[in-house]
Structure 1
Amino acid sequence: MLSLPAEFEQFHWMVDMVQHVDMGLIVLDREYTIHVWNGFMTHHSGKQSHEVLGKCFFDVFPEVPRPWFEAKSKPVFNLGCRSFLIWRQRPYLFKCRNVRPITQQAPFMYQNVTLNPMTSPRGDVEYMFLSVDDVTSEAMLELHKG
């Protein structure tokens, strides 16, 4: 059996986790070019990675208001802190289909999105990653209570 260096094996695990985690993961640079698009996003958005990688976020998602999203991104890039998009303020960032249409009567996936800084070894933030969480169940419970 061929023994692989531990670093290569760990890298492989990381790539596998990013692709299969039950959460959307997207990496954008300061020009909003898409660098990572994981399996969750492919499955739920219907957009394949080859359709989005290397493209401007706003070209791929023209429905996202650019001034609003840039304002949300500014503290991430300039201050290195997180920014949050909560479903109560905006039901979704990406209009994804509801994957449980029989058990949940929602026309789309409600999402919480966290914009996270990605710090280089020099301490610079040239990239951010978005983590997209499906909160449709929670939203439906809350909306049906009130």
Structure 2
Amino acid sequence: MKITADNFYFKTKATWQACDVPHRTPDFESESGSQYWYSDNGVIRYSGHWGKVSTCDWRCDSSCGFCEWNSFVAPSSVQRHTNQYGNIDCRQALPRGFCRIPQIKGIKLHYWLKKLEIPFARAFVGFDHSRGFSPKFDGYVIPSRSKPKVMEFVRQKANERK
């Protein structure tokens, strides 16, 4: 996925380099007051807040930073489909090419998906009314092409427990 002025603000990660505020009108100003100046090489952002910015993770040691377009890290294939909390609502059809793996008792699937370097998102179905209106956890969503690898791993772990 190529990062441009049209999508750099959607679930990306970046470390911005401190720079001076440009002496011209910003190309864009957000509702929170952050100002943006675009160039062919990247974007300058002047803001009082960094870190978790909407759906992004942006770091800067200054109130004004520059980031080249090719320095933004695009979201993984799974993360492009998550909501603002990083979850996927499985009451709706999953995007093409993805499947749900239920949580398996006794196996720390979250840990092993990370260890196997398989992109994933937490899957939820509806709400657990016994805990207020918290989403009800229902496993993980992974790329379908990774399912055979995960299922083989789960079989191995299940056999080790016997």
Pick the TM interval, shorter chain: under 0.3
Q: Comparing both structures, which one devotes a greater share of its residues to strand?
A: 2
Asked which structure has the greater CA Rg, the reply is: 2
Relative to the length of structure 2, the TM-score reads 0.22
More helix by share: 1
